[in-house]
Structure 1
């Protein structure tokens, strides 16, 4: 989505996410999840800056109606201590190195479930943008 590119630039690829309103954050977080999972699975999602918002991703997906996908992300997040993914990238990468061998089987299953697209993320995001159109006007 073109709007995704605009939002990523506006918030400096998540570094300054507070520049976005709530609806814009939801779209950005959901789009970044999809991009990372399709490019390298949950391990890549957590390793990269998109993982900074792994905890918020569950809520963002629920807000667009992607409840099945939210459950997949929650299951993947459960590999981290107390099911909470560290926001700090360096801290998260250190923890990843400690848990990745044990977590790999679960993450591979979560990747496969994600690829089934039980929720049509594109349709849900389009409906979300239309419903919240005024939040996306420049």
Structure 2
């Protein structure tokens, strides 16, 4: 099933996300350029994976952290301002001008963080996981796809 309209007829939102995700990841592996909507989808997917695997420390300590600002914007674009705010606060714990998009510079900055910043990330993780019920990202992503079908138009 590759037609976005067919995918959107599925009743289970998780099935919709999995179907769209499979197509996007396959497209990405073929080195095709992704649309803005597909890129936002991927950014949220990699962020959620990193956070679920090891929290903000894991996210920022790996290459996916290079895209922290883009991830924040992706959440705004799908209509998830509370999650975007949590990410903004997590970036802010680096201190003014201490967050870097480059992994090695960011790792050096992480090594210099005090315990307050690290415990701040843990506090934000708790809020993130608690607020998932309040801001249903799965539903927001499906609505984003519905409202931007031209970005997800597969033949």
1:75 aligns with 2:80: no
* C-alpha separation in 1, matches of 2:37 and 2:83: 18
* C-alpha separation in 2, matches of 1:41 and 1:19: 29
* Structure 2 stretches lacking a partner, 5+ long: 1-17
1:135 aligns with 2:147: no
Q: 2:100 aligns with which of 52, 63, 86?
A: 86
* Structure 1 stretches lacking a partner, 5+ long: none
Aligned length: 134
- Which residue does the alignment assign to 2:62? 48
Change in 2 beyond 3 A, CA 1:65/1:102: same
* C-alpha separation in 2, matches of 1:10 and 1:48: 23
Query: Please, what TM-score do these two structures have when normalized by structure 2?
Result: 0.76
Query: Please, what TM-score do these two structures have when normalized by structure 1?
Result: 0.84
Deviations 1:96-138 (A, max 9, x none): 2222634111100010001111311111011111111121124
Question: Which fold has the larger relative contact order, with Cα–Cα distance below 8 Å and residues 6 or more apart in sequence?
Answer: 2
The answer to which structure has the higher helix fraction is 1
